[in-house]
Amino acid sequence: MSLRIGVDTGGTFTDVVAFDDVTQHVHVRKVSSTPDDPGRAILRGVSEILDQIGGRNISEVNYFAHGTTVGTNTLLTGNGVLTGLITTEGFRDLLELGRGRRPDMYDARADKPAPFVARRHRFEVAERLRSTGEVERELDEGEVREAARQLKSAGVEAVAVCLLYSYVDPKHERRIADIIREEHPEAYVSLSSEVLPEFREYERLSTVVTNAYVGPVVYRYLAALREKLAAEGLTAVPHITQSNGGVIPFATAEAMPVRLVLSGPSTGVVGAAQICSAAGFDDIITFDMGGTSSDISLVQGGRPKVTSGMELDGRPIRSPMLDIHTVGAGGGSLGWIDTGGHLRVGPESAGAFPGPACYGNGERAAVTDANVVLQMLNPEYLLNGQMKIDREKSVDAVRRLADPLGLSVEETALGILRVVTANMARALRVVSVQKGYDPRDYALVPFGGAGPLHASRLARELGMSRVVVPEIPGAQSAMGLLMTDVKADFMRTRITSLTHETASQVANVFAELSAEAAAWFAEEDVAEEGRRLVRRLDLRYAGQNFELPVEMPEELGEDGMEVIAQAFHAEHERVYGYSSPEARLEAVTFRVEAQGSAPRVELRHSELGGEDPSGAAIGTRETCFDPKEGFRSITVYDRSKLMPGNVVQGPAVVEQMDTTTILLPGDRCVVDSLRNLVITIGEEA
Amino acid sequence: MTTSARATGQLDPVIVEVVGSALSTIVEEMGETLVKAAFSPNIKERRDCTAGLFDAEGLALAQDEGGSPMHLGSLMGIVGAIRGRFSEADIREGDVFIGNDPYTGGGSHLPDIVLASPIFVGGRISAWAATLAHHADFGDRGHAHIFQEAIRIPPVHLVREGVQQEELLSLILLNCQIPEERTADLRAQEAALGVAITRYQELCSRYGVDVIEGVSSNLLDYTERRTRAAITEFPDGEYTFEDLFDAPELDEELTLRVRIRISGDEMLFDFSGNPPQVRASVNVVWTGLYATVYYTLKTLIDPDIVPNAGLYRPVTIVADEGSILNCTAPAAVNGRIETCQRVVDLIHGALVDALPERVTAASNGAVTGVHFSGHDASRGRDFVYLETIGGGSGACHDKDGLDGVQVHMTNTSNLPVESLEAEYPLVVESYELIEDSGGVGRHRGGMGIRRKIRVEAPDVHFWLDTSRQKSQPWGLFGGGPGQSARCVLSEDAQPVDHGYTVLQPGQTASIETAGGGGYGPPEERAEAQLAADRADGRISEATAQQCRQD
């Protein structure tokens, strides 16, 4: 009787996945996105999938989760609201001074990101705390009131407040919030001590300003969507993805939109982690390749790696998030020849329009055109026939590069693939080798429209021996929405020397945060048995100015501090190659991640059948793997007809609605009991 | 060489691009390893370091670009210096060489310690790896000549065939003020060399050593082609410029000059006729001058160009031996970066008529360094706080300069106020842009920074390195100059003398850096931009009026 629905809004498509609790079936629907009003595509997709399942009603939906890039897009396009700032006297320019670096070392023309608050809307007020929390100068409330009035008359819709040391004592920020609410009650007010009670003033300031700037936009979007869904008859509480890979109810998200802004690719990773864990692969590197970029992240022991922040367009955002690295390499990335005569690919992309040459509107060769030329991709149509392909256009486009290079069309097409593979390999090394992980110990898990097409080549480039392609790679993020938890993060900076004497202080801070988490669980109605807390402590050697997070044991016993110290030394050794067991340790930021189980899709294993895949063979295709050998005929399989237990020997192509998996010569692919394609990379090619 | 040449003939541009990307990845990984494994904040957080790969002859193939531009090319002499000093038989697999002396093959000043290793493939040297890191040691020194600045180390074996030379290391460490930090940082440099050796050998076993060496020589040709292609577009001619240079250490301003000749696809940078080297720290050794010219050329040609030895080929650099821009032993060199900043402006100034759309007006022209040290009784320890403060960058033909940034030869981060006040007996009272500091113009110069610091401990030693206190960063095509730099102490404080004073509790030092020059006549500034600058307090009403009237 009940259904669970995940809706992921992307730039081109809105993916809808529905899981039927009764039949235990997963249904997938793709509709075109409607960027002017994303809700339209969402409602259409939901209505279509209900019909597809067989005339079901939205009132049967007992769980609804949504992933959106509305926050990210607001930031990238600069379409947030007019925002003001109130800060400590002497520091209004911090927002643009940042850490003092210029944006590009060698490009004198590169611009700094325009601050989200104009200088004229940044007000300083007399007040000053010291690092201990001692008040050196009392807050001048008259100045605050005057600033609030001026901000109101300037027409600002949101006000960010960020004072020095507010993470130690938020009282001045809170008092400022009261005054703003009196003077400008309609304003969306955002306090740095609430959004990010962590030290380092610039990062905290940038984060709270971002939160204020996107706040009203996200708030309106979610409120409107909530209303529309309710009007359609949805009774379940709608949930939304956060950058940390978990979901929270819409209403909770409205207060802390900055925690949504990098949520786009996160559930895809969460879903992949669960699917692969169930399939026996706990250590994976996900590779989500779309039209303009690829997102890469590392999953260790079944858990995605998290980080506490990143930069978006040059502006730091500190917020708990999955550690996802993006590189400008996608199916639409364009090939070009530089002034030294080298073939380069990307980061310029053909985008949705004109798109690759084979779509008929563009002249320049994209990665997709290279795949069409070599017939890695179906040279006639994609998306089950919804998208016509003109191979001649691809050939012409690639030839424009081939002639000046003095190479054949096929050599050039292969060259494009090799160069883009090298670019992606470089990005993959960033999340693995540069963080102390050897990619050869991981399975590569491709998804997105173009991931499975390039995975085998990428795995070879990095010496990885295993690729696992999930069942629905084209709607992985929507799928992940049905496989994630409700999740909230609580943190606080308390710089504390780590010794036996301070054990109780450490325990107290965690107790405070755990109490906040407990209150949140109660508010969200998370069942007692489904609650889980992960406690992390950011530590450093005294005298250093960067921290490493260490996961805390469940219970801190007598030797608790010792256990923590050992864990830190070990982590330091792993990441930096050495540790200093004799050095003094400092605890810096305390973190509690609260997870509550949401209803999840149960993954069902099927019986393995015979190895013979011929039942899924739907034809052959002439494909070129090596220009010296020319085109050779390979078998094309229909993914939906491949059965668990089937074995496919490369070279071969596996087609499904929204993606194509290429097995290079020597690859061996087994369909596992979860219908994943588990590919063992061959020695040759 | 013959094998390389043979391999070269068969290489297509795709393999060169793919392997070139792999070589760049190696130097990036070296840089990451070095930064990660280092202990001292100057390397770890300010990234004052670099890493490079060289061919068997010592030609630079690829260099990590994450670090300071001051190091671009600083490593170019190292392999040659080692090969000149040791016979082939004395360079073995597992060797690591160490050196820091700018006059015998180190970096461009003594804190830059270089470590280098040969990379053996199939029993012979196929390439070299080197790392350079600025070890923030050697404080409170004189700068009359180099012997006062730090221990001088010529390139010598730190490790012989895998065996650490402990006696040498103990000699070096005895001459360092924070030996534990040096040990950790040197270990980080060695770790980065290890990464280079492993990765390079992996590449050779995958593609074959002949292909890798062939690609290496192709990559130099490739960068050379891109450089020549860009220079060809520059109008031929001879271009000159001179500018004033000041530093707190110098009693008088010096006049620096350059003559640039562009002919076809080649460029000559002639620094003849510059003042003789001085008894102060601002002399520049030739590798420092080369790094400055290559940095400037890369920014003018194409920021994306790979900085390898191919970039050097179409370029000739000339400077009188014994002059401030090509000093000889025993000239002191510790503060060479101040001078190098002015050299960048000189080149831009010279090329104004040739490349009006590529050059910028003068930037703040300094690496403003403030240095506080003393005893912190409340925390029971000595302290040293060092910070560099950015300023305005120069405007260019179609946009304003950037407000408050590090320019040209440096790009280090500041320390958060919430970190520094927790560590030192210092209070930051303000950190802000200075109204009217950017030169007026159709495009405004970037604004300088004011950072005001109060001292809370007695007898705090304060040193200031900066420039443009006596002159102003110039504007172009009618654009006004940026405001000069200055340092204002609270009234009761002892004045700064040659960049030094002692501060007492409650006294403040307000350090102001210069703004950038403007570009184009101020009366051509769009009214909307003037109004915005005025509303944002970037210019005063008087300045706005003056621009409207001019």
Q: A578 vs B187: CB contact, 8 Å cut-off?
A: yes
User: Residue A638 — pLDDT band, cuts 50, 70, 90?
Assistant: very high
pLDDT at A373 over 80: yes
In a domain, A546, yes or no: yes
DSSP state of B276: B
Q: Which residues in chain B are contacts of A405 at CB distance < 8 A?
A: 12-14
CA-closest candidate to residue A278, choices A483, A125, A94: A483
- pLDDT for A464 equals 96
CB atoms within 10 A of CB A114: 12
Judge if ipTM > 0.90.
Answer: yes
* Residues B275, B320 contacting (CB under 8 angstroms): no
Q: B393 vs A102: CB contact, 8 Å cut-off?
A: yes
- pLDDT for B344 equals 98
User: Residue A684 — pLDDT band, cuts 50, 70, 90?
Assistant: low
First and final CA of chain B: distance in angstroms? Answer: 64
Q: Where are the domains of chain B?
A: 2-226, 360-550
In a domain, A402, yes or no: no
Q: B421 vs A97: CB contact, 8 Å cut-off?
A: no
pLDDT at A84 over 90: yes
DSSP state of A519: H
Q: Are residues A558 and A653 in the same domain?
A: no
Q: A342 vs B223: CB contact, 8 Å cut-off?
A: no
Q: Which of B422, B429, B537 sits opposite A131 (nearest CB)?
A: B422
Determine the Cα–Cα distance for residues B439 and B401; give it in Å rounded to an integer: 9
Please identify among residues 540-599 of chain A the ones whose CB lies closer than 8 Å to any CB of chain B: 544-546, 575-578, 580
Q: A100 vs B432: CB contact, 8 Å cut-off?
A: no
3-class SS shares of chain A: helix, strand, coil, % to 5: 35, 30, 35
Q: B13 vs A429: CB contact, 8 Å cut-off?
A: no
Q: B16 vs A544: CB contact, 8 Å cut-off?
A: no
Nearest CA of chain B to the CA of A417: how many Å?
10
Q: B421 vs A131: CB contact, 8 Å cut-off?
A: yes
* Residues A624, A374 contacting (CB under 8 angstroms): yes
Q: A90 vs B452: CB contact, 8 Å cut-off?
A: yes
Q: A100 vs B418: CB contact, 8 Å cut-off?
A: no
Name the token pair of A84. 């003001």
Of A51-55, A56-60, A551-555, B162-166, minimum mean pLDDT range: A551-555
In a domain, A320, yes or no: no
Nearest CA of chain B to the CA of A463: how many Å?
11
In a domain, A507, yes or no: yes
- For A121, the closest chain B residue by CA position comes to B536
pLDDT, tens only, A375-434: 999 888 877 777 788 999 999 999 999 999 999 999 999 999 999 999 999 999 988 988
Q: Are residues A644 and A546 in the same domain?
A: no
Q: Which residues in chain B are contacts of A423 at CB distance < 8 A?
A: 21
In a domain, A670, yes or no: yes
- pLDDT for B105 equals 81
- Mutation site for B-interface testing, chosen from A97, A127, A196, A412 by largest number of B Cβ within 10 Å: A97
- Mutation site for A-interface testing, chosen from B64, B234, B348, B417 by largest number of A Cβ within 10 Å: B417
Backbone angles phi, psi at B8, to 5 degrees: -55, -40
Q: B37 vs A577: CB contact, 8 Å cut-off?
A: yes
Residue A210 backbone zone (phi > 0: left; psi -120 to 50: alpha; other: beta): alpha
**What SS3 state is found at A144?**
helix
Of A600 and A181, the one with more pLDDT:
A181
Q: What is the CATH number of the domain that holds A515?
A: 3.30.1490
User: Residue A1 — pLDDT band, cuts 50, 70, 90?
Assistant: low
Determine the Cα–Cα distance for residues B360 and B153; give it in Å rounded to an integer: 39
* Residues B250, B277 contacting (CB under 8 angstroms): no
Q: A118 vs B433: CB contact, 8 Å cut-off?
A: no
Element containing residue A124 per DSSP (H, E)? strand A122-125
Percent of chain A topping pLDDT 70: 100
Amino acid at B541: E
- Mutation site for A-interface testing, chosen from B8, B10, B21 by largest number of A Cβ within 10 Å: B21
- For B185, the closest chain A residue by CA position comes to A578
Q: Which residues in chain B are contacts of A133 at CB distance < 8 A?
A: none
In a domain, A202, yes or no: no
Write down which residue in A547, A568, A596 finishes a domain.
A596
DSSP state of B277: P
Nearest CA of chain B to the CA of A147: how many Å?
15
* CB-count burial class (<10 Å; 0-12, 13-18, 19+) for B2: exposed
Interior CA angle at A465 toward A463 and A467, to 5°?
115
Q: Which residues in chain A are contacts of B36 at CB distance < 8 A?
A: 434, 575-577
Q: How far is CA A622 from CA A213, A391, A632, A655, B152, in A?
A: 53, 13, 5, 15, 67
Whether A105 contacts chain B with CB within 8 A? yes
CB atoms within 10 A of CB A150: 16
pLDDT, tens only, A151-200: 999 999 999 999 999 999 999 999 999 999 999 999 999 999 999 999 99
- pLDDT for B548 equals 87
Residue in the block written with tokens 């169930």: A278
How long, in residues, is chain A? 685
Q: At what angle do helices B2-10 and B209-232 cross, to 10 degrees?
A: 70
- For A132, the closest chain B residue by CA position comes to B422
Whether A329 contacts chain B with CB within 8 A? no
- pLDDT for B458 equals 97
* Residues A285, A444 contacting (CB under 8 angstroms): yes
Q: Which residues in chain A are contacts of B65 at CB distance < 8 A?
A: 105-106
A571: domain range? 486-596
Backbone angles phi, psi at A413, to 5 degrees: -60, -45
Determine the Cα–Cα distance for residues B301 and B319; give it in Å rounded to an integer: 23
Whether A423 contacts chain B with CB within 8 A? yes
Nearest CA of chain B to the CA of A266: how many Å?
26
Q: What is the pLDDT along chain B (550 residues), one digit of tens a residue?
A: 333 333 344 577 888 888 998 999 999 999 988 988 888 878 887 788 999 999 999 999 999 887 788 887 778 889 999 999 999 999 999 999 999 999 998 789 999 999 999 999 999 999 999 999 999 888 778 899 999 999 999 999 999 999 999 999 999 999 998 898 899 899 999 999 999 999 999 999 989 999 999 999 999 999 999 999 999 999 999 999 999 999 999 999 999 999 999 999 999 999 999 999 999 999 999 999 999 999 999 999 888 888 899 999 999 999 999 999 999 999 999 999 999 999 999 999 999 999 999 999 999 999 999 999 999 999 898 888 888 999 999 999 999 999 999 999 998 888 899 988 998 999 999 999 999 999 999 999 999 999 999 999 999 999 999 999 999 999 999 999 999 999 999 999 999 999 999 999 999 999 999 999 999 999 999 999 999 999 999 999 999 999 987 6
Give residues with Cβ within 8 angstroms of A20, minimum separation 6.
A3, A27, A53
Q: B41 vs A545: CB contact, 8 Å cut-off?
A: yes
Give the dihedral of Cα atoms B387, B392, B393, B398; nearest 10 deg: 150
- pLDDT for B74 equals 76
Tell me how far apart the 2 most distant CA atoms of chain A are, in Å: 81
Q: Which residues in chain B are contacts of A120 at CB distance < 8 A?
A: 535-537
Q: Read off the pLDDT of each residue in A47-64 and give the average, rounded to a whole number.
A: 92
In a domain, A542, yes or no: yes
Please identify among residues 115-144 of chain A the ones whose CB lies closer than 8 Å to any CB of chain B: 118-120, 130-131
Please identify among residues 101-130 of chain B the ones whose CB lies closer than 8 Å to any CB of chain A: none
Please identify among residues 382-401 of chain B the ones whose CB lies closer than 8 Å to any CB of chain A: 388-390, 393, 396, 399
Nearest CA of chain A to the CA of B149: how many Å?
25
Q: How far is CA A538 from CA A326, A557, A575, A592, in A?
A: 25, 19, 14, 11
- pLDDT for A101 equals 87
Q: A97 vs B431: CB contact, 8 Å cut-off?
A: yes
Please identify among residues 37-66 of chain B the ones whose CB lies closer than 8 Å to any CB of chain A: 37, 39, 41, 44-45, 65
pLDDT, tens only, A454-494: 999 999 999 999 999 999 998 899 999 999 888 999 999 99
Q: Which of A106, A164, A342 sits opposite B417 (nearest CB)?
A: A164
- pLDDT for A316 equals 94
Q: B360 vs A94: CB contact, 8 Å cut-off?
A: no
Q: Which residues in chain B are contacts of A119 at CB distance < 8 A?
A: 536-538
Residue B531 backbone zone (phi > 0: left; psi -120 to 50: alpha; other: beta): alpha
* Residues A322, A261 contacting (CB under 8 angstroms): no
Nearest CA of chain B to the CA of A202: how many Å?
7
Q: Which of B25, B222, B431 sits opposite A94 (nearest CB)?
A: B431
Nearest CA of chain A to the CA of B18: how many Å?
6
Please identify among residues 150-179 of chain A the ones whose CB lies closer than 8 Å to any CB of chain B: 164-165
Query: What is the tally of structural domains in chain A?
Result: 2
Determine the Cα–Cα distance for residues B13 and B11; give it in Å rounded to an integer: 7
Whether A411 contacts chain B with CB within 8 A? yes
- For B415, the closest chain A residue by CA position comes to A99
In a domain, A285, yes or no: no
